[in-house]
Structure 1
Amino acid sequence: MISCMNNVSETGVRIGIDLGGTKIELIALDATGHELLRFRRSTPAGDYRAIGALIGSMVAEAEASLGLQATVGVGTPGAISLKSGLMKNCNSTCLNGQPLKEDLERLLGQQVKMSNDANCFALSEAMDGAAAGAGVVFGVILGTGVGGGIVANGHVISGVNSIAGEWGHNPLPSPFGSELSGHDCYCGRKGCIETWLSGPAMADDHLRSGGGLMTAEEIFAGVEKGDSLCRFTLERYSDRLARALAGVINILDPDVIVLGGGMSNIKRLYDEVPKLWGSYIFSDEVRTRLLPPKHGDSSGVRGAAWLWGHE
């Protein structure tokens, strides 16, 4: 039977691993969330066994540097199938169909906590980030895709189907005009929130509206320079985000929503979206706060470290 050494619980030191497509990052936190060390290595592309071996060597390196054993949590780009126990939905496709958790536990000789990157982001921001102290937190990923995670009273809510927070594959609420036909989503459906609110989706919307081929970052820069087409694109995006988050608030009613991913860097969203979402929410007053992340790109790896005791 796999178990953690006694001194792990005594030290309170936690190791977090963020398993990304291009890099694997490791962080070690003490019991208060203070960073003890951090380093990263390039992900062995397409090589499942090499990925596992690298994670094992990184944990060994960290524990040797710390002079103690620590708990290990891993944030992944996909999820563990409840049906098979194998990885699914990973954009690093070599992980799909593999018993990653089981293999890592065998390599490390101890139990490993594992969750998807959106859950890790939400947990990090709920524990000691922008939403610290809040009862219910919805963490949003707005990047090349759209995902989310839920933390209630310091614990990740995964759900009976392990899909809690997957708002990106619900339809965009209250579509009108050209939105009614929707766009094809990789999940096989049309009109998913992800097809409207990801970074590439903003770029596609701008192009369809006659604004030319621009990235989301370039569109926002255009807004700052007074480009009217870029401003209209951002206004459409803000309204769609307001509608999508209003749906979350109507169901979950979180204290705080924290935005993550590349689109979270658009500062105007934090002012504009709360001004808009009130007309879509079933309440005469909306107290939910919309906040930028405190830990930014570090939230995923920090959240992985916090998984122990907070699942």
Structure 2
Amino acid sequence: MKLWGIDLGGTKIECAVLDPERNLEVVVRMRVPTESVNGYDHILSQIKKLIDMVAEQVGERPRKIGFATPGVLEPDSQLMKNSNTTCLNGMPLKTDLEKILGVPCELANDANCFALAEALMGAGKDYHGAEVVFGVIMGTGVGGGLVVNNKIIGGHHGIGGEWGHNILEEGGEPCYCGKSGCVEQVISGPALERFYERASGEKVSMKTVLERYHAGNDEHAKATIERLLEYYGRAVSTLINVVDPNLIVIGGGVGNIDLLYTAGYERIRKYIFNKGIVTTPIVKPKLGDSAGVFGAALL
């Protein structure tokens, strides 16, 4: 049986079909725009349209489908929550998908799907025996997913791995989650850009901030990258103290910054509850933007 996965993003919906008999070879990949401004029912219709298109290409219908979703399905109420595609919140997405598609559907947060795909198909293949893998997303937002023995740990409330919404900076910026100073409001790309803009009076991208830091002639860029490294060290040390994973994989645009794996790694030593000893492999992902849809298929 082929494995079908859908990555439900804010701007695009992607479907991938994998063949487990051919080492998870990709049979077909296809995308349609999400067009979330048109509302919840329109998103459902876009998903159905995409499934129909892919089924025609593959020559068979799916028997079940995995979905990587923004936000998460509340285990008790079976309603969506915490989604930045806000029209999904409070909706019975799993029930409605199964109704319109006529097959069982399995839903997981997109960060969890990222972690699962990297554990099984990506960076985890280089670390055989890594029973506990934590996938970190550091980009426009900050999130995480936890995989133990090749299985996503969704948790009692469905929020397992939500690393981005713990308080990192007392009295920091307010977050949409209701708290202030969350990890996401400190070391996400937009948060770091805001920090630089307040200090310099100039609005630039993180790419430009990093270039200016390496040029060595911009004190505000230096302060911004120093802030990233210091708070990254604190946040990751807490993650290691609580979970102590065998492998951490960092995705997202901020995760591409090489300093995180050198100077940032040294900052973790300052805060870890292990006499300054850190041996956890912390690596970049291998699957790029395919991780979400591959993880969905692996559900």
**If the length of structure 1 is used for normalisation, what is the TM-score?**
0.88
Distance (whole Å) between structure 2 residues aligned to residue 181 and residue 42 of structure 1: 39
1:108 partnered with 2:98 = no
1:168 partnered with 2:160 = no
User: Matched residue of 1:110: which SS?
Assistant: coil
Distance (whole Å) between structure 1 residues aligned to residue 294 and residue 8 of structure 2: 12
User: Matched residue of 1:131: which SS?
Assistant: helix
Shifted more, 281-290 versus 207-216: the winner is: 207-216
Deviation by residue 1:163-192 (Cα, 9 ceiling, x = unmatched): 1111111111xxxxxx54322111121221
Cα offset, 1:60, TM superposition: 2.2
1:138 partnered with 2:130 = no
Equivalent position amino acid for 2:82 in 1 = N
Distance (whole Å) between structure 1 residues aligned to residue 241 and residue 11 of structure 2: 37
Cα offset, 1:112, TM superposition: 0.5
Cα offset, 1:277, TM superposition: 0.6
Deviation by residue 1:245-273 (Cα, 9 ceiling, x = unmatched): 00000010001111111111212211222
1:292 partnered with 2:292 = no
1:73 partnered with 2:66 = yes
Deviation by residue 1:28-82 (Cα, 9 ceiling, x = unmatched): 1111222111111111233211211221221222222222343311111111123
Equivalent position amino acid for 1:263 in 2 = V
Residue in structure 1 matched with residue 34 of structure 2 by the alignment: 43
Residue in structure 1 matched with residue 242 of structure 2 by the alignment: 251
Gaps of 5+ in 1: 1-10, 173-178
For the aligned residues, what is the CA RMSD?
1.6
Gaps of 5+ in 2: none
**Equivalent of residue 271 in structure 2, options 276, 280, 293:** 280
Equivalent position amino acid for 2:16 in 1 = I
Distance (whole Å) between structure 2 residues aligned to residue 199 and residue 61 of structure 1: 35
Distance (whole Å) between structure 2 residues aligned to residue 302 and residue 227 of structure 1: 42
Residue in structure 1 matched with residue 5 of structure 2 by the alignment: 16
Cα offset, 1:111, TM superposition: 0.3
Residue in structure 2 matched with residue 216 of structure 1 by the alignment: 206
Distance (whole Å) between structure 2 residues aligned to residue 247 and residue 164 of structure 1: 15
**If the length of structure 2 is used for normalisation, what is the TM-score?**
0.92
Structure 1 stretches of 4+ moved >4 Å: none
**Equivalent of residue 87 in structure 1, options 77, 80, 85:** 80
Distance (whole Å) between structure 2 residues aligned to residue 277 and residue 93 of structure 1: 35
Distance (whole Å) between structure 2 residues aligned to residue 108 and residue 59 of structure 1: 8
Distance (whole Å) between structure 2 residues aligned to residue 76 and residue 16 of structure 1: 11
**Equivalent of residue 238 in structure 1, options 216, 229, 233:** 229
Residue in structure 1 matched with residue 147 of structure 2 by the alignment: 151
User: Matched residue of 2:108: which SS?
Assistant: strand
Contact 2:5 2:17 in 1 (8 A): yes
User: Matched residue of 1:37: which SS?
Assistant: strand
Equivalent position amino acid for 2:59 in 1 = G
Count of residues in correspondence between the two structures: 290
Distance (whole Å) between structure 1 residues aligned to residue 283 and residue 6 of structure 2: 25
**Equivalent of residue 302 in structure 1, options 270, 283, 294:** 294
Residue in structure 1 matched with residue 113 of structure 2 by the alignment: 120
Shifted more, 199-208 versus 66-75: the winner is: 66-75
Deviation by residue 1:95-151 (Cα, 9 ceiling, x = unmatched): 122111111111111101101111111111111111233211111111221111000
Contact 1:255 1:287 in 2 (8 A): no
Contact 2:4 2:65 in 1 (8 A): yes
Residue in structure 2 matched with residue 7 of structure 1 by the alignment: none
Equivalent position amino acid for 1:91 in 2 = N
